[in-house]
């Protein structure tokens, strides 16, 4: 349904079943934040939680907190809170390390489980770290493996009997294109390959069902739609039936079956625990644990429906009010194929985005020419869509983007 004015969108906000969640975030006045797909905002309950951890647990209980406050179980307990958001069961998700490190672990484990196969399939537009890690692992193994990169639409045709592992991101970070989780996983298994999903741009805004589609492995970051804070620990998923088969290469002491026996040689722990490596980041995991409170009892189907509505309205309004200014839609129009973002190609994408940010509409830019806008349904309103397009319209009509300071590239875009 197309909205003709701001009042129509305000009416949607009045009827929005998720509207009350906005009050659970610290959102700066005068800012429309459309970059939660890169860094989520601060949940209001986080400062009190971090104060508790620092000023009581760390300061007063010191090293005793590993037992008194269950610090050592945080990778498992926080993982169990993420599990329902990605369609996993208890004991199938572990929090720790970074997305890159977790990718390396699971890629290596997957190749070891398929020793006679030499191909990793990934998409050519995959996030760079997913590709770089595969290249680095292949180089380290020196066993003749091949990284087969194909366009997103061509993935199914690239999976054959030579493939050991299919490694894909569910939602493309540039365009927002959504891979068919069930179809690709089934194709990988039909060919005898294993399936590894990167959920960094889908967890928290889409109803993901890893167990339902039979996925083998998954990874994801927690600082985007899960709002875990800058540099928050990542997570990984290993299907229950594979957990005692996999041997991850980073055999640190926390993955040992009895770490405080201090045995000379490595003996992997049973289950998901063997995916642990070093000492967990207690502060980072405590922040993430608090941030996940907002998802308790949340209907992810309702979150996804609002996401599709927000992105659809943004596409329609931008084309209605900013048409003729050289924008080309990079994001699929079909709602089922669109993640919780809208991306536009424009030859002056970088300075336009900088002008928007200066005027209180925060998105980001992805090389070579993409303006990217993320729509997090937990705190964004429908009127924010109207107001953001109003600012974009003014930036374009008045040529505000063409100031010299907006053309100067910053280190982080």
Predicted local distance difference test score (pLDDT) of residue 153: 85
- Are 258 and 309 in the same domain? no
CB 201 within 8 A of CB 171: yes
pLDDT by residue (tens digit) across 85-112? 999 999 999 999 999 999 999 999 999 9
Single residue among 242, 263, 295 that ends a domain in this structure: 295
Question: What CATH number is associated with residue 144?
Answer: 3.40.640.10
- Asked, for residue 148, whether it belongs to a domain, the answer is yes
- Are 276 and 325 in the same domain? no
The C-alpha atoms of residue 28 and residue 18 are separated, in whole angstroms, by 20
- Are 152 and 222 in the same domain? yes
- Are 261 and 377 in the same domain? no
- Asked, for residue 194, whether it belongs to a domain, the answer is yes
Percent of the chain with pLDDT over 90: 97
The yes-or-no answer on residue 198 being catalytic is: yes
- Are 318 and 245 in the same domain? no
The yes-or-no answer on residue 33 being catalytic is: no
Predicted local distance difference test score (pLDDT) of residue 38: 97
**Residues in the chain with pLDDT values less than 50:** none
Single residue among 295, 315, 344 that ends a domain in this structure: 295
Single residue among 295, 327, 346 that ends a domain in this structure: 295
The C-alpha atoms of residue 56 and residue 62 are separated, in whole angstroms, by 9
Name the catalytic one among 81, 224, 274, 381: 224
Name the catalytic one among 72, 198, 216, 359: 198
Predicted local distance difference test score (pLDDT) of residue 233: 98
Dihedral sign, Cα of residue 202, residue 130, residue 227, residue 381: negative
Burial 268-284 (b: 16+ CB within 10 A, else e): bbeebbbbbbeebbbeb
Predicted local distance difference test score (pLDDT) of residue 413: 86
The yes-or-no answer on residue 299 being catalytic is: no
The C-alpha atoms of residue 131 and residue 124 are separated, in whole angstroms, by 8
- Are 119 and 135 in the same domain? yes
Closest CA to 216 of 280, 256, 163: 163
Name the catalytic one among 174, 372, 375, 381: 372
3-state secondary structure of 177: strand
- Other Cβ atoms within 10 Å of 91 Cβ, number: 16
C-alpha to C-alpha distances, 106 to 21, 165, 166, 216, nearest whole angstrom: 35, 10, 11, 10
Name the catalytic one among 33, 104, 217, 223: 223
- Asked, for residue 39, whether it belongs to a domain, the answer is no
Predicted local distance difference test score (pLDDT) of residue 3: 56
- Asked, for residue 86, whether it belongs to a domain, the answer is yes
- Are 321 and 247 in the same domain? no
pLDDT by residue (tens digit) across 272-302? 999 999 999 999 999 999 999 999 999 999 9
Q: What spatial distance separates the first Cα and last Cα of the chain, rounded to whole Å?
A: 33
Question: What CATH number is associated with residue 342?
Answer: 3.90.1150.10
Predicted local distance difference test score (pLDDT) of residue 182: 97
Q: Which domain holds residue 389?
A: 6-30+299-407
> How many folded domains does the chain comprise?
2
Name the catalytic one among 33, 127, 235, 295: 127
Burial bucket for residue 330 (CB in 10 Å: 0-12, 13-18, 19+): buried
CB 226 within 8 A of CB 77: no
- Are 212 and 353 in the same domain? no
Strand-pair partners of 163: 119
Strand-pair partners of 203: 206
Angle subtended by helix axes 74-82 and 282-291, to nearest 10 = 30
CB 37 within 8 A of CB 396: no
Closest CA to 358 of 323, 384, 395: 395
The yes-or-no answer on residue 223 being catalytic is: yes
Predicted local distance difference test score (pLDDT) of residue 152: 81
- Is it true that the peptide bond before 240 is cis, omega within 30 degrees of 0? no
pTM: 0.96
CB 43 within 8 A of CB 294: yes
What the block records as the tokens of 274 is 């063997």
- Are 205 and 172 in the same domain? yes
The C-alpha atoms of residue 241 and residue 130 are separated, in whole angstroms, by 25
- Asked, for residue 58, whether it belongs to a domain, the answer is yes
- Are 283 and 258 in the same domain? yes
Question: What's the full length of the chain, in residues?
Answer: 413
pLDDT by residue (tens digit) across 310-367? 999 999 999 999 988 999 999 999 999 999 999 999 999 999 999 999 999 999 999 9
- Are 264 and 307 in the same domain? no
- Asked, for residue 37, whether it belongs to a domain, the answer is no
- Asked, for residue 122, whether it belongs to a domain, the answer is yes
Closest CA to 344 of 365, 375, 321: 365
- Are 224 and 95 in the same domain? yes
- Asked, for residue 412, whether it belongs to a domain, the answer is no
The yes-or-no answer on residue 173 being catalytic is: no
């Amino acid at each position: 349904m197309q909205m003709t004015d701001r009042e129509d969108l305000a009416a949607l906000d009045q009827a929005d079943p998720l509207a009350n969640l906005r009050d659970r975030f610290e959102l700066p006045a005068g800012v429309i934040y459309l970059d939660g797909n890169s860094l989520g905002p601060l949940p209001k309950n986080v400062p009190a939680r971090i104060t508790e951890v620092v000023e009581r647990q760390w300061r007063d209980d010191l090293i005793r907190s590993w037992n008194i406050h269950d610090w050592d179980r945080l990778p498992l307990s926080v993982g169990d809170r993420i599990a329902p958001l990605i369609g996993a069961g208890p004991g199938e998700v572990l929090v720790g390390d970074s997305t890159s490190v977790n990718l390396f672990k699971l890629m290596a484990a997957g190749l070891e489980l398929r020793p006679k196969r030499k191909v990793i399939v990934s998409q050519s537009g995959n996030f760079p770290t997913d590709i770089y890690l595969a290249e680095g692992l292949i180089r380290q193994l020196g066993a003749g493996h091949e990284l087969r990169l194909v366009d997103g639409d061509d993935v199914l045709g690239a999976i054959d009997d030579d493939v050991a592992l299919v490694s894909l991101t569910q939602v493309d970070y540039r365009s927002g294109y959504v891979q068919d989780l069930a179809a690709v996983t089934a194709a990988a298994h039909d060919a005898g390959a294993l399936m590894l999903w990167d959920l960094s741009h889908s967890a928290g805004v889409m109803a993901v069902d890893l167990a339902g589609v039979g996925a083998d492995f998954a990874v994801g970051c927690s600082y985007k739609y899960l709002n875990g804070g800058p540099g928050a620990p990542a997570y990984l998923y290993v299907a229950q039936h594979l957990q005692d088969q996999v041997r991850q290469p980073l055999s640190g002491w926390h993955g040992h079956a009895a770490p405080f026996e201090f045995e000379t040689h490595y003996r992997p722990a049973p289950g998901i625990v063997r995916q642990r490596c070093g000492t967990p980041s207690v502060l980072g995991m405590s922040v993430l644990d608090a941030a996940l409170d907002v998802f308790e009892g949340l209907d992810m189907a309702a979150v996804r429906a609002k996401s599709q509505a927000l992105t659809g309205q943004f596409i329609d309004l931008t084309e209605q009010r900013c048409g003729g200014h050289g924008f080309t839609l990079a994001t699929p129009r079909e709602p089922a194929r669109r993640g919780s973002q809208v991306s536009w190609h424009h030859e002056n994408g970088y300075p336009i985005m900088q002008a928007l940010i200066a005027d209180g509409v925060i998105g980001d830019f992805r090389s070579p020419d993409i303006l990217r806008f993320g729509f997090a349904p937990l705190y964004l309103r429908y009127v924010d869509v109207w107001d953001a397009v109003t600012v974009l319209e003014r930036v374009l009509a008045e040529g505000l983007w063409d100031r010299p300071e907006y053309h100067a590239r910053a280190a982080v875009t």
